Amino acid sequence: MSGSTYGKLFRITTWGESHGSGVGAVIDGCPAGLPLNETDIQKFLDRRKPGQSKYTTKRNESDTVEILSGIFEGMTTGTPISVLVRNQDQRSRDYGNIATLYRPGHADYPFTEKYGIRDYRGGGRSSGRETIGRVAAGAVASKLLNELGVRVCAYTKSVGPYTVPTEEYRYSEIPENSLYMPNNAVAEQAGEYISSLMAEKDSCGGIVECIADGLPVGLGEPVFDKLDALLAQAVMSIGAVKGVEIGDGFSASASRGSINNDPFYMDHGAVCKRSNHAGGTLGGMSDGSRLILRAAIKPTSSISRTQQTVNTSGEDTDITVLGRHDPVIVPRAVVVVESMTAITLADLLLQNMGAKMEHIRKIYLQ
Amino acid sequence: MSGSTYGKLFRITTWGESHGSGVGAVIDGCPAGLPLNETDIQKFLDRRKPGQSKYTTKRNESDTVEILSGIFEGMTTGTPISVLVRNQDQRSRDYGNIATLYRPGHADYPFTEKYGIRDYRGGGRSSGRETIGRVAAGAVASKLLNELGVRVCAYTKSVGPYTVPTEEYRYSEIPENSLYMPNNAVAEQAGEYISSLMAEKDSCGGIVECIADGLPVGLGEPVFDKLDALLAQAVMSIGAVKGVEIGDGFSASASRGSINNDPFYMDHGAVCKRSNHAGGTLGGMSDGSRLILRAAIKPTSSISRTQQTVNTSGEDTDITVLGRHDPVIVPRAVVVVESMTAITLADLLLQNMGAKMEHIRKIYLQ
Amino acid sequence: MSGSTYGKLFRITTWGESHGSGVGAVIDGCPAGLPLNETDIQKFLDRRKPGQSKYTTKRNESDTVEILSGIFEGMTTGTPISVLVRNQDQRSRDYGNIATLYRPGHADYPFTEKYGIRDYRGGGRSSGRETIGRVAAGAVASKLLNELGVRVCAYTKSVGPYTVPTEEYRYSEIPENSLYMPNNAVAEQAGEYISSLMAEKDSCGGIVECIADGLPVGLGEPVFDKLDALLAQAVMSIGAVKGVEIGDGFSASASRGSINNDPFYMDHGAVCKRSNHAGGTLGGMSDGSRLILRAAIKPTSSISRTQQTVNTSGEDTDITVLGRHDPVIVPRAVVVVESMTAITLADLLLQNMGAKMEHIRKIYLQ
Amino acid sequence: MSGSTYGKLFRITTWGESHGSGVGAVIDGCPAGLPLNETDIQKFLDRRKPGQSKYTTKRNESDTVEILSGIFEGMTTGTPISVLVRNQDQRSRDYGNIATLYRPGHADYPFTEKYGIRDYRGGGRSSGRETIGRVAAGAVASKLLNELGVRVCAYTKSVGPYTVPTEEYRYSEIPENSLYMPNNAVAEQAGEYISSLMAEKDSCGGIVECIADGLPVGLGEPVFDKLDALLAQAVMSIGAVKGVEIGDGFSASASRGSINNDPFYMDHGAVCKRSNHAGGTLGGMSDGSRLILRAAIKPTSSISRTQQTVNTSGEDTDITVLGRHDPVIVPRAVVVVESMTAITLADLLLQNMGAKMEHIRKIYLQ
């Protein structure tokens, strides 16, 4: 059915397949009066573009965005912002052999069962190209958040077994290595690991971490639409993500209350916390400290090794997935996680506008 | 704003505070013709009721459900099912001291900032009693799923550092220990650990695992409303949950494609998988194998130890949380995780009804 | 499916059947800090209560409201407000004969076809009692609107063929006659007409008009969620309503642009209009002038005359609807139309909060 | 905020302004396996295209549709269908004079107040071109409905004071006159009337009627999402519509129960009605008879006569609206009303799929 829309007030709808005419998104509900142009969006898209390092697919797609609506004289007008990216280097011949085979780890089998029909040219709707719409929307959400002093930043915490421990983070190094890790030395080791996997026609996954600073207190709705719950949906809805955690996450399950509770104290008139095991949320609402989330990303499913599978006629067979695939999608997923986080925060910022009569009087009675 | 509703077609709305008149839910969108009575719901509620073992709060609440609408002659009628549970043993005097203090680990501080007002008697809306509405709805969803041959089952995988390894699961032992662990021996060790924490006025968390068998292939919508994404929202929206993972989850991030991909094969005419690292979903849709998810639950925030905090006047102070609290909420959370999973599956079953013209012709042309 | 919820941010969910335990509503998304108590709601409910004049059913229902949640110390807390009205004078024996017959003008036939099961005691979910939840929510919405200087007022414009022309409106007379008409003389004629219909075991309909003053400019979203479009849904969703119009409505279709366009002019620094054919909306947004809508209400379907119909076995037969029914529901529908209008306005007021960056900066940057 | 999306399961999102790059829609939730191509959509768009008769604007826009996604080998795939129509003959110089003036009858004033910014080139988002997205979606919905034997048909019932009485309908004449009236003789009179208004630089409105045959019984949800309520929203959300009625509509308000109730009878084993004052709905659900709705359309607001207004600096002034405008938009609105009706019906058909367990068992247990 209709599951291509995300968000309640800041609401995005993505569309498009890997081998159709293009992909895009409609961003509805962006407030009027936000300065915005194509460069703002292109900068985000360039971060997920293929072909940027030896660890990403060699497909050549410029992914140039066109804004079709919603902007007038460099400002948002409050009407839907429609963005379009044409597909280019499709080479659909590479995918001919998968028309009748179900690729392990891919959506081919449930897609066929669910719809009775499948666009077998590449991943179709389940392709990573679907994230282009998300990233374009994330650029808009980030622009909005920046205006309010909120900064969202994602990076690669681990690649396969290579992890940067929190105490060794050097944020300034993130843009210095092609894996977007906050530590160049670990990134170099991870890069060698990826190279060895490529030689073995294998692939790996990793963990993306995302932080947000400057959030007002109280974002998130206390029951089903908790800040952490919506972030979990947003991030888990990205193709290869298999787990999401906030703050100490799974580690918290082995901790104790006396350690895990973050004590409050006053600092220059502000309520602060002495630790941040919670990762910035209490009761599903932002608590004024840094938001921290992590997404577990599985190894790329497309590997060139021969694998066992079945075909659409229900026979056992082998498959060798051709085409040019990323040995690890983690570095390209960084901006997608950052985008989904920004979109969720922008939506909750808008939802929070009417939380109390004091806000409402401030807008309507003056 | 309005964040008390979950689900698109099978849609629940919960309401109520810990110390108001009661709590409840409206379950809208349940198909007509499902046999249902109060016993079906009461059985679920009894699983989360306090006072059932020495590891749960001694509060005495019978939590008796009344169905106010939506049932006629033992069957659902297609109209909203409204359920009400009156609050009983409130003892709001226990909570007097927290009216002007922010409890560490609780929602008090962001709640006050967000709304400018807080029902300081207990957790108010952020109390664990809010889950009563979820569990009542979960009972209805489970009844519906059972009719279609789908079985959902949750249990405690770990308590603090005590974990049951998958290879030592004995499902039949789940109801035999008060921690709902699939291994009585580990449960006994975990129980001793909880007892020692109680003596230290401390608390712990744990991991709840939930499985579902018998799912049709293709449940879940391929983009934002992926099966795993909605499960992530549903489960992360439960009070103390800090992380959610599907299948191998975070472990998958350190694996390789050649290992993590589950090969397909044919078995008696059915498409099967030789492994299930994916945990039952591919591309956000059920793949016909067992659904597996885990929720990380933080240690109970209410501990009797004195903790540092601030008061509503912005002064540093100490707090000693009185009242009767669970040293670990994991065993009571088991049925809540199971309920949120069942609700999500029921909703996606309904959403999937119109996925293809073949379904639509089957209903309208015959 | 789930169609018992209305509103995006100020969101109501109603539940309950005429002959079940009771009826009620959950009002989610009401801002915190609004003074509210049971009297505020009871006053609204008393306006739709049966048995208030000789023109309404003699059923004796006190319709006493209980607020179950969402209020603390006389103020809304931002959490869902759950209201409950127990059913009392049900006399379900009166309805025994309709268990197997489809009453003309009623929902019995499509209800049975849609759900395969029908609560045949009275109208079930399609009973007028369902509007109790709407009116309770309308009381809350009105309280909110009043705080912002918005006043909503509905009244009976016509009963059967008896209409009060606009130029003869005397608003002060509305509460003076039991038909809530803005002209006592016409109300007296209409009353005699109703009496004559009662003698003939017949019924009539009428037109309810609703106005709102003090609206800010710009409420309503420019495309599908236009102010007039949502009002149309809201009002047409009331049981017996068969038509909705805004401003000149159907008359405008026979007018000319040169007459129908309302010229703007300045008055003491404010943009005003010399006429109000538009009824207060332009392009789906409030334009600062009075909002005017009308709802056409059909004659009561329950009449004591013998009518032709069929039974659930598919046989031609006669039916004589027993029970105590309103010869005209228009006076009791007045407060329902007013409520649905108020709910819609409250929702759009909240939706409009984030329309422009200027608003957002005002809340978050200061 | 975000009001550019309509529908719950068959869900459309429109975007675009009159003088931007183009307009379009994303149609999400269309079932897979529906034959569909660009011609299906172009045929619908051609019915609303300008320049088709002397009574419509002379603007020259080919309005050629491009389907960007969601179709594979001539069939829908279940993924979102994105359609794009580029803007062509914009001549934005015609609109320069309205940049600082509020056109009477237009959305200029509330738009500016709401958003603080307005795309003053033409109507911007409030332009009639926004309906292109609706009509494209209507073509898809109609294709779906036709597969199930449902036929939707709209036509012009009246132009200004010229009305075709029901007893003089000749449906075959609808495509024979450029006003799409079901009576060529009345159409000719109406045409002369329009010509006279054009000479006077004036405009008129009219009434569009829409019927649907072949509907299954039970479409529509019994409370807020009644068939008639959603149709009211859908149709009232079209730019110039000021009123909506179902069946006898406003006339029913002056009728009697004994006349207005439609008696049931059996005909060849089917439940039928001897009359259809209800217009095909009972209790908000389709009753198996013909659905009948009417939309009142106001006179075109853009007239070349000089009118009083104010400017954006708050000064009284005059305005003469230049550009090429329709003297009556009714004939071009016919396909828009038909489209919004079809979209609503398609959505309710999908929503009804899970109304009863019998349906659900039919899909999942077999």
Closest-CA distance of chain C to residue A238, Å? 26
- Pairing of β D5-6 and β D11-16: antiparallel
pTM: 0.97
CB–CB contact C20 B78 (8 Å): no
Angle at B278 between CA B274 and CA B279, to 5 degrees: 95
Range with the poorest average pLDDT among A309-323, B306-320, C89-103: C89-103
Q: Which of C196, C264, C272 to mutate to test the interface with D (most CBs of D within 10 A)?
A: C264
C-beta of residue C206 within 8 angstroms of C-beta of residue D250: no
The position carrying tokens 């449940």 is B219
Residues from chain C contacting residue A353 (CB–CB below 8 Å)? 350, 353-354, 359-360, 363
User: What pLDDT does C1 receive?
Assistant: 57
C-beta of residue B280 within 8 angstroms of C-beta of residue B292: yes
The pair of structure tokens assigned to A347 is 């939506």
Give one DSSP letter per residue of D46-87, joined into a string: HHH-SSSSTTS--------EEE-SSEETTEE-SS-EEEEEE-
pLDDT at residue C139 greater than cutoff 80: yes
Query: Using CB atoms within 10 A of its CB, is residue D322 exposed (0-12), middle (13-18) or buried (19+)?
Result: middle
Confidence of residue B348 (pLDDT cuts 50, 70, 90): very high
Neighbours of chain D (3+ CB pairs under 8 A): A, B, C
Neighbours of chain C (3+ CB pairs under 8 A): A, B, D
pLDDT at residue C264 greater than cutoff 70: yes
Residues from chain B contacting residue A274 (CB–CB below 8 Å)? 308
User: What pLDDT does C95 receive?
Assistant: 65
Closest-CA distance of chain A to residue C249, Å? 27
Residues from chain D contacting residue B79 (CB–CB below 8 Å)? 222
- How far CA D68 is from CA of A69, D143, D361, in Å, comes to 16, 18, 36
The pair of structure tokens assigned to C211 is 């106005």
User: What pLDDT does C119 receive?
Assistant: 83
User: What pLDDT does B11 receive?
Assistant: 98
Closest-CA distance of chain B to residue C322, Å? 22
CB–CB contact C363 A360 (8 Å): no
| Chain C residue nearest residue A214, CA to CA | C364
pLDDT at residue A91 greater than cutoff 60: no
User: What pLDDT does B62 receive?
Assistant: 84
User: What pLDDT does C11 receive?
Assistant: 98
How crowded is residue B315: how many other Cβ atoms within 10 Å of its Cβ? Answer: 10
Q: For residue range A189-241, list pLDDT tens digits in order.
A: 999 999 999 999 999 999 999 999 999 999 999 999 999 999 999 999 999 99
Q: Taking all residues of chain A, what is their mean pLDDT, rounded to a whole number?
A: 94
User: What pLDDT does A225 receive?
Assistant: 98
DSSP state of A189: H
End-to-end CA distance of chain A: 45
Q: For residue range B22-53, list pLDDT tens digits in order.
A: 999 999 999 999 999 999 999 999 998 877 77
Confidence of residue D346 (pLDDT cuts 50, 70, 90): very high
CB–CB contact B222 D79 (8 Å): yes
C-beta of residue B25 within 8 angstroms of C-beta of residue B67: no
Q: What percent of chain D has pLDDT over 90?
A: 86
Query: Which residue, among D203, D213, D87, has the nearest Cα to D149 in the 3D structure?
Result: D213
Residues from chain A contacting residue D5 (CB–CB below 8 Å)? 5, 11, 13, 28
How crowded is residue A153: how many other Cβ atoms within 10 Å of its Cβ? Answer: 16
ipTM over 0.95? The verdict is: yes
CB–CB contact D236 C256 (8 Å): no
CB–CB contact C223 D158 (8 Å): no
Q: Which of A357, A358, A361 to mutate to test the interface with C (most CBs of C within 10 A)?
A: A357
| Chain C residue nearest residue B14, CA to CA | C80
User: What pLDDT does C325 receive?
Assistant: 82
The pair of structure tokens assigned to A318 is 């082998």
| Chain A residue nearest residue C77, CA to CA | A356
Q: For residue range C220-241, list pLDDT tens digits in order.
A: 999 999 999 999 999 999 999 9
**What contacts D61, CB < 8 A, 6 or more positions away?**
D49, D50, D51, D87, D88, D89
A209 vs A288: CA distance, rounded Å: 19
Range with the poorest average pLDDT among B340-349, C119-128, C254-263, D356-365: C119-128
Q: For residue range B210-240, list pLDDT tens digits in order.
A: 999 999 999 999 999 999 999 999 999 999 9
Q: For residue range D109-134, list pLDDT tens digits in order.
A: 999 999 999 888 877 888 899 999 99
User: What pLDDT does D85 receive?
Assistant: 96
User: What pLDDT does D98 receive?
Assistant: 76
CB–CB contact C16 B69 (8 Å): yes
Closest-CA distance of chain B to residue D77, Å? 9
Confidence of residue D92 (pLDDT cuts 50, 70, 90): low
Long-range contacts of C316-321 (CB under 8 A, 24+ apart): C316/D265, C316/D266, C317/C101, C319/C97, C319/C98, C319/C101, C319/C103, C319/C104, C320/C97, C321/C98, C321/C103
| Chain D residue nearest residue C306, CA to CA | D258
Q: For residue range A264-317, list pLDDT tens digits in order.
A: 999 999 999 999 999 999 999 999 999 999 999 999 999 999 999 999 999 999
Q: What percent of chain B has pLDDT over 90?
A: 86
CA C319 to chain CA mean position, Å: 29
CA A180 to chain CA mean position, Å: 14
Residues from chain A contacting residue D75 (CB–CB below 8 Å)? 117
Q: What percent of chain D has pLDDT over 70?
A: 96
Residues from chain A contacting residue C31 (CB–CB below 8 Å)? 354-357, 359-360
pLDDT at residue B98 greater than cutoff 80: no
- Pairing of β C11-16 and β C22-28: antiparallel
CB–CB contact A360 C351 (8 Å): no
Confidence of residue C120 (pLDDT cuts 50, 70, 90): confident
User: What pLDDT does A323 receive?
Assistant: 72
Range with the poorest average pLDDT among A125-139, B94-108, B329-343: B94-108
C-beta of residue A18 within 8 angstroms of C-beta of residue A127: yes
Facing A16 at nearest CB: one of D9, D17, D69: D69
Query: Which residue, among C142, C57, C124, has the nearest Cα to C337 in the 3D structure?
Result: C142
Tell me the average pLDDT across B185-202. 96
**What contacts B110, CB < 8 A, 6 or more positions away?**
A217, A218, A220, A282, A283, A285, A286, A287, A288
User: What pLDDT does A93 receive?
Assistant: 58
pLDDT at residue D51 greater than cutoff 90: no
Confidence of residue A121 (pLDDT cuts 50, 70, 90): confident
Confidence of residue B54 (pLDDT cuts 50, 70, 90): confident
CA C154 to chain CA mean position, Å: 9
